[in-house]
Chain A
Amino acid sequence: MKADELLGLYEQMAVIRGTEQAAHDLFLAGLVKGTTHLAAGHEAVAVGASAALRPDDYVFATYRGHHHAMARGASPEECLAELMSKATGVCKAKGGSMHLTKASAGMLGSYAIVGAHLPMAAGAAWSARLRGTGQVAVAFFGDGATNIGAFHEALNLASVWALPVLFICENNLYMEYTPIGSVTAADHPAADRAASYQLPAELIDGNDVVIVAAAVARAVHRARSGDGPTVIEAQTYRHFGHSRTDPAAYRPEGELEEWLGHDPLEVARRRLRDLGLPESELTAVTERAARTVADAVAAAKAAPGADPAEAFTDVWADGGFQWRT
């Protein structure tokens, strides 16, 4: 990957990281309610995959999905506004942190029932084939999703129908508070299961955006060529706990520090330096990312709150909520 392209991906990751930190801080300031599942540390999976997709491809993500929404084109401002219950939120403040969606950018939702969206991605892939559009669909999911039935039903059916779908696992070592290895009869919870469904799998460094982009590009090529699904298991790490209330005290001493040494932003910076990018340019882009986030925070704070009347719109396709005469 050339330096200018990698620099662009680096900036996207820096904006996502800054937005996640802002979400954390806004929560502590009482401006975000409910809960958040921050994806700080996972940025390379979302940004690397998006770099390998067409704008009209479909992405389905999980409740830890801020990075996917932004990687596909949702602005930090509309994501933060959603978290802050503002009328300008990407889902009009009706979805919240766990359901960020940007359908116009092919980001077809963040789902908070673990594993439920894998069959949906397969369905979108089936739809693309029926319509002859050449689109692919991608389901991003956590390691915990590999132990739920929908994962297995989706992989089996997608394989049998040879659908143009990618199953990308973000293995961050923990299903919520529990080490995934302690509850899973597989060393690599997604990749090791792929063979059961006659699917190819790749086990990759999910913190290196260049490696992610290349692996996803290979899988997309297979899918668009009619060769069916691929399972990618991207090894990564979340910097925060599972959700807002989790201090992640169960992590062994030193584990976080070790992963911070292999942080996606740091990995990208190393690559950029190796490619000869001047330090001043890297600093300038890093500062621009910080300004983007600061502007987004200010705009989201200034936006009006959700209109109470919105509680009664968007149930039905006619926009209303009437269920009886």
Chain B
Amino acid sequence: MADLITYRDAVAEGLAREMRRDPSVVCLGEDIGKAGGVFKTTVGLFAEFGPERVRDTPISEQAIVGMAMGAAMTGVRPVAEIMFSDFLACCWDYLANEIPKMRYMTGGQVTVPLVVRTANGGGLGFGAQHSQAVENWALTVPGLKIVAPSNPADVIGLLASAVRSDDPVVFFEHKGLFASRGETAPPDHVVPLGQAAIARPGTDVTVVALAATVPIALSAAAELAASGTEVEVIDLRCLVPLDMATVLASVRKTSRLLIVEENPYQGGWGGTVASIVADEGFEFLDAPVRRVAAACVPLPFADALEDEVIPTVSKVTTALRALADY
């Protein structure tokens, strides 16, 4: 049996592999050095690579991401950490106006090969300012690549691709998955950006999921299998590039599509997926496209309230049964 590793350790392992491979890879962020990160996702890096390549910063999100950008434009490959994805709002200028536009508006003179890592999503009872799933914020901006892994091996493989990418990448690590375990990645494991995975093959309904909604969808699929419905679960892995070829091929087979996303229904990425399927896969469908997304309210604190707002196995199971019976 392969070695198991936690999702959180996979982040540190993925970073360490890239830093060993390429001396131009550097990390910066709040508490990422000696402290090993508030989520312990950078444990061991400071000891191995030293204070110049693993830099603690003040609580200055604009300086963190702005400096990463300047370094990326001049021959370094920075990996900047924004502790909670909610805090991206503090440096959103860089993600919305600067980093994704620099290459284009200079007519291709400048490349910005950086990664912004951030802990995303809910399920831990951190309240409205530390629990949001904000991958849809990034999706509104042309020029950003968006990655959100669901398991430890993908964390390592996608981090390798993100660091090696000459384009800017926002790398969403899901807080609810940090303690989860999975097989570790073999040496030199690289997962290309924009290649979805079939997390569970099936013939009756397609579920498109991302990050923490992948294990939710897999649990729901297992429940439906007991009653004879075979659900195909697609782990998108990335929002940009968006692997619609895999989604459309699956819908062609199953004729039914459920999208499970943790960001709010209002403006969520599932709307983009549904729109493309409506446009290019209309003839494949035997049922309406359905979405299980977060409700359009701020994230509440109490577990009982948070469960009402974000996707759960029971919500997905209910939606799948309705689609299968349609």
Contacts and interface: CB of A to CB of B under 8 A. Distances in A.
Interface of A: 58, 60, 89-96, 99, 101-104, 108-109, 111, 113, 116-128, 130-131, 137, 149-150, 153-154, 156-157, 160-161, 310, 313-319, 321-325
B71 A95 contact: no
Given A101-B109, A324-B242, A325-B244, A156 B58 contact: yes
A154 B66 contact: yes
Given A119-B63, A316-B167, A127 B93 contact: no
A168 B277 CA distance: 52
B52 interface: yes
Contact of A121 (B62, B70, B111, B244): B70
A87 B158 CA distance: 38
Q: Decide if the interface of chain A is mainly helix, strand, loop or mixed.
A: mixed
Contacts of A128: 74
Contacts of B53: 130
Given A313-B108, A316-B103, A323 B67 contact: no
25 contacts: A92-B107, A99-B106, A103-B106, A109-B110, A117-B70, A118-B66, A119-B70, A122-B66, A123-B68, A123-B69, A123-B70, A126-B71, A127-B71, A130-B76, A137-B70, A149-B62, A154-B63, A154-B67, A157-B57, A160-B58, A313-B108, A315-B103, A317-B103, A323-B240, A323-B242
Nearest to A90: B107
Interface string B211-255: 000000000000000000000000000001111111000000000
A116 B241 contact: no
Nearest to A311: B104
Contacts of B62: 116, 119, 149-150, 153-154
B98 interface: yes
B212 to A, nearest CB: 22
B66 A120 contact: yes
B5 interface: no
Contact of B63 (A108, A122, A310): A122
A322 B243 CA distance: 11
Given A94-B105, A108-B110, 14 more contacts: A58-B74, A91-B105, A94-B106, A102-B109, A116-B66, A126-B70, A126-B71, A127-B70, A130-B71, A154-B67, A314-B104, A315-B143, A319-B108, A324-B242
B102 A109 contact: yes
B142 A315 contact: yes
B73 interface: yes
A157 B107 contact: no
B26 interface: yes
B244 to A, nearest CB: 5
Interface string B27-67: 00000000000000000000000001101011010110111
Nearest to B244: A324
A95 B63 contact: no
A314 B100 CA distance: 11
Nearest to B143: A315
Contacts of B240: 323-324
B113 interface: yes
A120 B65 CA distance: 8
Nearest to B245: A325
Given A118-B66, A150-B66, A325 B167 contact: no
Contacts of A102: 109
Given A120-B66, A322-B241, A323-B142, A95 B107 contact: yes
Chain B interface size, as a band, is 35 or more
Nearest to B70: A123
B244 A113 contact: no
Contacts of B22: none
Interface string B285-301: 00000000000000000
A120 B73 contact: yes
B267 interface: no
A92 B281 CA distance: 37
B279 to A, nearest CB: 12
B243 A325 contact: yes
Given A150-B66, A325-B245, A157 B58 contact: yes
A306 B143 CA distance: 21
B97 interface: yes
A323 B103 CA distance: 15
Contacts of A130: 24, 26, 52-53, 71, 76
Contact of A123 (B60, B71, B93, B103): B71
Contacts of A108: 70, 73-74, 110
A325 B237 CA distance: 14
B278 interface: no
Contacts of B243: 324-325
Contacts of A137: 70
B194 A120 contact: no
A316 B66 CA distance: 19
B67 A157 contact: yes
| 10 closest Cβ pairs, A-B complex | A119-B66, A123-B70, A123-B67, A92-B107, A317-B166, A120-B70, A153-B63, A314-B108, A103-B109, A153-B60
Nearest to A155: B63
A149 B65 CA distance: 13
Contacts of B65: 119
Interface string B132-146: 000000000011000
A318 B103 CA distance: 11
Contacts of A313: 108
Contacts of B142: 315, 321, 323
A321 B113 CA distance: 16
Contacts of B166: 316-318
